Structure 1
Amino acid sequence: MEGDGGSAGKQETAASKVQKEAASAGVSVNEWLQHVKATFLGLVRKVTARSEQEAAEADLRTAKAQVEATDEAEAKKKQLAQG
């Protein structure tokens, strides 16, 4: 009987690990999509900029959005690893 309890615990742990890895992969995909969105919007802003200053601001906004996406994804992955 004790052997059954141990294997059940291992199955729950394995299932939990797979679930965490799937959630982490989902977070990575979401991060990638946010990077793509930021890049696309940055290009649109840069193309429609009326001056070099607006183009530079578009680049800065793009970089900021990408950093925020990365930071958010890292925080979510850390939370998944702890939980």
Structure 2
Amino acid sequence: MEGNGGGGARKQETVGSKAAAAGVSVQEWLQHVKATFLGLVRKVTARSEQEAAEADMLAAKAQVEATDEAEAKKKQLAEG
């Protein structure tokens, strides 16, 4: 009864790619949490207002990089 033309294999690929995308999203979230936490620690331990501002910028940069990396991985998963 294989009259479905390979639809089962296609469904497994879809489920697998969705699971992989979910894993990438979880990894992205963890990187955001890490960047936020490290930024907060740097801000609390800053000796000047300038160091505190730099800590905020570094945390924001790390979050943007995490998002960009996750989007690239998701795009790669969708293509391949």
Deviation, structure 1 residue 8 = 5.4
Cross-structure match for 1:65: 62
User: Which of structure 1's runs of 4+ aligned residues deviate more than 4 A?
Assistant: none
Q: Which has the higher helix share?
A: 1
Give the alignment's TM-score, normalised by structure 2. 0.96
- How many residue pairs get aligned? The number is 80
SS of corresponding position for 2:60:
helix
Cross-structure match for 2:12: 15
The answer on 1:39 being equivalent to 2:50 is no
Q: 2: distance between equivalents of 1:66 and 1:73?
A: 11
Give unmatched runs, 5+ long, in structure 1: none
Q: 2: distance between equivalents of 1:14 and 1:8?
A: 12
Q: 2: distance between equivalents of 1:18 and 1:68?
A: 27
The answer on 1:52 being equivalent to 2:38 is no
Question: Which amino acid is 1:62 matched to?
Answer: A
Larger Rg: 1
Give unmatched runs, 5+ long, in structure 2: none
